[in-house]
Structure 1
Amino acid sequence: MKLTILGCYAATPRTITNPTSQVLDIKNRLFLIDCGEGTQVQLRKNKIKFSKINHIFISHLHGDHFYGLVGLISTFMLLNRINDLHIYGPKGIKEVITLQLRLSNSWTNYNLFFHVLESKTSEIVYEDEKVIVTTIPLKHRIYTNGFLFREKIGDRPLNVEAVQSYKIDKCYYQNIKKGKDITLENGQLIENSKLTFDPIPTKSYAFCSDTIYDESIIPIIKEVDVLYHESTFLQQEEVLAEKTMHSTAKQAATIALKANVKNLVLGHYSTRYESIALFKEEAMSIFSEVLLADDTTCFEF
């Protein structure tokens, strides 16, 4: 599982920082999460192939999380994209994007599908044979979701020596890898555990963008491998965090601790601070496994 941070700063883009956008590579699927201004430039800088992005998840309709979307959609068209593009986001996402495309006479030459999210409870929004994505309802100034990406449990690796010792025909291998027991011609039942190894452990990633401190998300993100949680402010600005419905680094770490996650990635920093190292220092007073997101940073788990 690989996470590439394209941008992770709050509010406005600067010459040295970019607003929220990141790419998750999980089970050979590339998911773009949020799309602030400059996303397509950052994709190029990080050498991420545009053609591999087929699903885009938008947390909410504040500009620093989606103002780069229409530009990216238009660039896809100029690059003669063929693949369908799926966009998952709050009510209004289809209206605001199609209005810009219509007024600029820039309709796409590929299929563009909008999956409008309105539920205030967690729901499955994407699923295939390897990955499942559910929403994480967040509390912000407008309707907002985080997203939980989970690998599905794969096939059980075949214990070749064991299978061959029982002289089992290869035509049964696929069923064995799916976890099924096998009955030999003499009627003997061979339990699957004797023919396979445990599957590779699955990985999970929870993206929690703009939100106030909210313990109601803990059951959804419990024991995930990686939690990205916004940390716009340090604890000294806790009152401002509450007023603007954002979180502090200490609060993000508290959520990570209570959810028993393996790794916490901080991001969405206010640019008022001299160094983002201050965020890690504050968070580590609560939770030990803290990583700092920064533009072009790449994490592999």
Structure 2
Amino acid sequence: MIFSVTILGSNSAIPTLQRNPSAQLLNVNERIFLVDCAEGTQLQLRKYRIHFQRIRHIMISHLHGDHYFGLLGLLTTFHLLGRKDEIHLYAPPELEEIVRIQLEASLTRLIYPVTFHPLVADGIQPIFDDERVTVHSFPLLHSVPTFGFVFREKIKIRKIPATRSYAYCSDTAYTEGIIPYIQQVDLLYHEATFMQDMAEVAAEKLHSTTVEAATCALKSRVKKLLIGHFSARYEDLQPLLDEARKIFPETYLAEDGEIFNL
């Protein structure tokens, strides 16, 4: 059974020719989730030959543009391709009005249903549950209301010794408050916008450094760590990886196009 994470975008606010801003695609036992949807996400879906009509659930972590400016374009493309299947959108509550205004301004009436599920910043909250996977949201520490997500496989396959889990922590300052929500997951994605020599800038902007991401992984006793949301100032990501691995050796770069199988 599949449990995979495809990196569609790994940069922070400014895209580069090598790295798009934030977006990831999860396949959990054929349940397909899009997590964040920066500008250019639908091009990334095509570039990596992903059948994006299979997407049923879209999670938006927060309302900074580098995490949702690609959403309206994707919803419109679904419309133009004649989609009929429902989309479930999990996001801060303000996004529903934003999408409504944009669709009305363009005189677009989607031919498929979109169901909004407003996220609540009150500890860990269940947002999706079926016979194969559960998904919970939890608050992060950023300049606007921001949410992380944890995906846990629900069924236990005979040949797999344990169910698998993945946690996504997008824009956030270092906070140990999230540890109870993500502890012992198989794979943790934690933003690492800056290297440690820019810790003051990271704190001011409510972002994390490589060292802070690795420390969170260590204290949460996760198996593996993905770092991403890299500042465009870094062309070479190897120094970020090296710095994080000094604290948490099982650290990997969330680079565009990479697929991580749990």
Same fold? TM cut 0.5: yes
The alignment-based identity, stated in percent, is 47
| CA drift at 1:16 | 2.5
Query: Does residue 32 in structure 1 map to residue 38 in structure 2?
Result: no
| CA drift at 1:262 | 0.3
Query: Following the alignment from structure 1 to structure 2, what is the Cα–Cα distance between the partners of residues 270 and 72?
Result: 25
**Paired residue total:** 260
Q: State whether residues 25 and 35 of structure 2, in contact with CA within 8 Å, keep that contact through their aligned partners in structure 1.
A: yes
1:270 corresponds to which of 231, 237, 257: 231
Query: Does residue 116 in structure 1 map to residue 118 in structure 2?
Result: yes
- Partner-residue secondary structure (3-state), 1:74: helix
State the partner residue of 1:23. Answer: 25
State the partner residue of 1:248. Answer: 209
**Bigger CA drift: 268-277 or 213-222?**
268-277
| CA drift at 1:299 | 1.3
Q: State whether residues 4 and 22 of structure 1, in contact with CA within 8 Å, keep that contact through their aligned partners in structure 2.
A: yes
Query: Does residue 41 in structure 1 map to residue 43 in structure 2?
Result: yes
Alignment of 1:11-160 (within 5 A): 11-154=13-156, 157=158
Give me the TM-score of the superposition, normalised by structure 1. 0.84
Deviations 1:213-236 (A, max 9, x none): 000111110100000000000000
- Partner-residue secondary structure (3-state), 1:35: coil
1:234 corresponds to which of 187, 192, 195: 195
State the partner residue of 1:187. Answer: none
- Partner-residue secondary structure (3-state), 2:131: coil
Counterpart AA for 1:286: I
Q: State whether residues 203 and 224 of structure 1, in contact with CA within 8 Å, keep that contact through their aligned partners in structure 2.
A: yes
Deviations 1:249-298 (A, max 9, x none): 00000000000000000000001123111111010110110110111111
Query: Following the alignment from structure 1 to structure 2, what is the Cα–Cα distance between the partners of residues 250 and 93?
Result: 32
Query: Does residue 290 in structure 1 map to residue 251 in structure 2?
Result: yes
| CA drift at 1:200 | 4.1
Query: Following the alignment from structure 2 to structure 1, what is the Cα–Cα distance between the partners of residues 108 and 11?
Result: 30
- Partner-residue secondary structure (3-state), 1:135: strand
State the partner residue of 1:214. Answer: 175
- Partner-residue secondary structure (3-state), 1:6: strand
Q: State whether residues 4 and 27 of structure 2, in contact with CA within 8 Å, keep that contact through their aligned partners in structure 1.
A: yes
Give me the TM-score of the superposition, normalised by structure 2. 0.97
| CA drift at 1:98 | 1.1
Query: Following the alignment from structure 2 to structure 1, what is the Cα–Cα distance between the partners of residues 29 and 161?
Result: 12
Counterpart AA for 1:106: T
Q: State whether residues 14 and 232 of structure 2, in contact with CA within 8 Å, keep that contact through their aligned partners in structure 1.
A: no
Q: State whether residues 121 and 145 of structure 2, in contact with CA within 8 Å, keep that contact through their aligned partners in structure 1.
A: no
Deviations 1:113-152 (A, max 9, x none): 1111133311001111110000121000000001000001
Q: State whether residues 153 and 199 of structure 1, in contact with CA within 8 Å, keep that contact through their aligned partners in structure 2.
A: no
**Bigger CA drift: 119-128 or 250-259?**
119-128
Query: Following the alignment from structure 1 to structure 2, what is the Cα–Cα distance between the partners of residues 120 and 234?
Result: 30
Unaligned runs of 5+ in 1: 158-197
Moved over 4 A (4+): none
Q: State whether residues 16 and 232 of structure 2, in contact with CA within 8 Å, keep that contact through their aligned partners in structure 1.
A: no
Q: State whether residues 87 and 115 of structure 1, in contact with CA within 8 Å, keep that contact through their aligned partners in structure 2.
A: yes
